[in-house]
């Protein structure tokens, strides 16, 4: 094919390793998709038809400067269809704004059904608040909600029977829904991205008897399971994932239950989503470091269960791998003959490699082998439009926006992952920052913060464009135009962030 010197071989070998690792994650997602279709397991347990005596339940909420949305939350909790003498609502508030006065007014009106505990210091952040709530809770079962949650009225009547039918069931995660998903193309995209992890992955893993995560809200816990693991811990920024894994490693079962739903908000602005993405990147990696050894050594888990538990925690590593893919692709097109690379990608082996890459990790395929990837996509679209005329409906602007939005977010997380990974390396804990709410009157993101984040993306985009210009001048290659994709996406994400 091509005669490569030592440097060229080293670059191509490194790129191959990075692509192989990315494809491992992509292949795992394809396998989970097949398992999802196969429906290898139901939602899990036999539910008793009639329950004469309902157990006591405590609803726990941790709040921090959540403004008027706590009123919406408490009103929805008061509408829960559950015996009034068997439920209590405990709110642990760390706020420094008007939230505490709103909560105290609800407590005055509904005590002892609603109890408010105010902490002057945010010790342990959300984990510390939930531990404080647990000290004052009477319930045998604990429903964890966020300030923006709106649980459906029958949530407890649908989930509590699952525990009564299975003494080893530690927690039940219900399906999340969204209050504001239809506000814009961006909120629709954020809802879709959240559903990938929160619904598709968790429900599939649950049906297959694998370990699942707790999403931080909309989960019902058996109190004995929480006490068995010593409560919530604040040594990671994702106390929800940490508690879920510790419970399951202790031998308790967990179920994702699609028969009940709790609504939440998706971030109302792109910059608020960026801050949440950083937390969602850092938390799983911290838990991977914390739990990897326990998972590998666990005697009660099969090899596939251990692998799936580890790869789910490791998934945020695809973003630094994505950055490595971009850098190595630039180096490859700088130091390897451009015409030779273009010729290789159009040979049978090159086209097959590109097709496999496109199936398992499309982002990397367009970066590394643009021309064959575009040919495959164009052929597939023509086939769909000509052979399957009804598929034209899927090409509406709404669906194209979602495709663009998913690519935008994935690409942007390449930059979002940098600071969380640096913080993990240097051992910096970081502050637990709640997601901005649509109706919250809390402090808005400062313009200086948004300008800084936007500038990082602009600089990264300029560096990639300079590299492309050098490639085109010294070693012209049509396939090298693929590296312009992250540049364009970073410029648009910078626009969204700075615009606010």
Clarify whether 93 is annotated catalytic.
no
DSSP codes of every residue in 370-420: HHHHHHHHHHHHHHHHHH-GGGGGGGSHHHHHHHHHHHHHHHHHHHHTHHH
CA–CA separation, 324 and 222 (whole Å): 43
CA–CA separation, 218 and 478 (whole Å): 49
CA–CA separation, 230 and 226 (whole Å): 6
Nearest to 456 by CA among 490, 486, 433: 490
CA–CA separation, 477 and 337 (whole Å): 8
Peptide bond into 105 cis (omega under 30): no
Clarify whether 94 is annotated catalytic.
yes
**Whether 74 contacts 116, CB under 8 Å:** no
Catalytic residue, candidates 146, 240, 242, 353: 240
**Whether 354 contacts 345, CB under 8 Å:** yes
Catalytic residue, candidates 93, 94, 166, 479: 94
Buried b (16+ CB within 10 A) or exposed e, 206-231: bbbebbbbbbbbbbbbbbebbeebeb
CA–CA separation, 500 and 237 (whole Å): 25
CA–CA separation, 487 and 83 (whole Å): 56
Residues composing the chain: 500
Nearest to 413 by CA among 337, 317, 347, 332: 317
Across the beta sheet with 150-151, what order do the strands follow? 114-118, 87-93, 57-63, 141-145, 219-222, 169-178, 253-264, 150-151
Nearest to 262 by CA among 23, 483, 46, 80: 80
Q: What are the angstrom distances between the C-alpha of 402 and each of 195, 319, 371, 372?
A: 13, 20, 23, 23
What's the burial of 200, exposed, middle or buried (CB within 10 Å: 0-12/13-18/19+)? middle
Q: What are the angstrom distances between the C-alpha of 261 and each of 62, 83, 154, 179?
A: 20, 19, 9, 12
CA–CA separation, 249 and 290 (whole Å): 13
- The SS3 assignment for 114 reads strand
Collect all residues with Cβ–Cβ distance below 8 Å to 302 and sequence separation of at least 6: none
Active site amino acids = 94, 240
């Amino acid at each position: 094919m091509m005669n490569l010197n030592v440097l060229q071989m080293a670059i191509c070998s490194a790129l191959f390793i990075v692509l192989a690792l990315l494809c491992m994650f992509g292949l795992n997602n394809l396998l989970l998709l097949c398992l999802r279709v196969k429906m290898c397991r139901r939602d899990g347990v036999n539910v008793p038809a009639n329950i004469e005596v309902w157990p006591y339940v405590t609803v726990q909420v941790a709040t921090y400067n959540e403004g008027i949305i706590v009123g919406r939350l408490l009103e929805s909790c008061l509408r829960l269809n559950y015996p009034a003498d068997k439920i209590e609502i405990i709110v642990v508030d760390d706020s420094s704004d008007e939230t505490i006065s709103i909560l105290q007014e609800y407590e005055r009106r509904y005590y002892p059904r609603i109890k408010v505990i105010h902490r002057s210091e945010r010790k342990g952040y959300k984990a510390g608040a939930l531990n404080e709530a647990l000290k004052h809770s009477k319930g045998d079962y604990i429903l964890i909600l966020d300030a923006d949650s709106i649980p459906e009225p029958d949530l407890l009547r649908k989930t509590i029977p699952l525990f009564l039918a299975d003494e080893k069931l530690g927690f039940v995660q219900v399906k999340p829904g969204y209050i504001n998903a239809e506000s814009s193309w961006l909120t629709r995209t954020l809802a879709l991205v959240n559903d990938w992890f929160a619904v598709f992955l968790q429900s599939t893993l649950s049906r297959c008897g694998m370990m699942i995560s707790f999403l931080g809200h909309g989960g019902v816990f058996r109190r004995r399971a929480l006490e068995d693991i010593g409560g919530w811990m604040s040594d990671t920024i994702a106390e929800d994932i940490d508690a879920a894994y510790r419970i399951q490693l202790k031998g308790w079962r967990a179920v994702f239950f699609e028969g009940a739903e709790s609504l939440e908000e998706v971030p109302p602005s792109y910059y608020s989503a960026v801050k949440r993405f950083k937390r969602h990147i850092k938390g799983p990696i911290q838990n991977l470091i914390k739990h990897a050894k326990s998972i590998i050594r666990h005697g009660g888990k099969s090899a596939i269960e251990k692998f799936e538990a580890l790869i789910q925690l490791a998934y945020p590593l695809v973003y630094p791998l994505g950055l490595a893919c971009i850098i190595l692709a630039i180096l490859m097109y700088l130091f390897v003959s451009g015409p030779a690379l273009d010729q290789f990608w159009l040979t049978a082996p090159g086209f097959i490699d590109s097709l496999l890459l496109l199936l398992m990790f499309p982002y990397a395929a367009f970066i590394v082998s643009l021309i064959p990837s575009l040919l495959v996509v164009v052929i597939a679209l023509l086939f769909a439009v000509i052979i399957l005329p009804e598929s034209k409906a899927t090409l509406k602007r709404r669906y194209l926006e979602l495709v663009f939005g998913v690519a935008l977010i994935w690409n942007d997380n390449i930059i979002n992952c940098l600071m969380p990974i640096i913080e993990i390396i240097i051992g910096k804990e970081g502050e637990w920052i709640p997601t901005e709410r649509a109706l919250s009157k809390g402090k808005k993101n400062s313009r200086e913060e948004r300008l800084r984040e936007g500038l990082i993306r602009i600089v990264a985009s300029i560096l990639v464009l300079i590299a492309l210009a050098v490639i085109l001048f010294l070693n012209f290659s049509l396939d090298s135009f693929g590296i312009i994709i992250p540049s364009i996406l970073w410029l648009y994400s910078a626009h969204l962030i700075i615009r606010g």
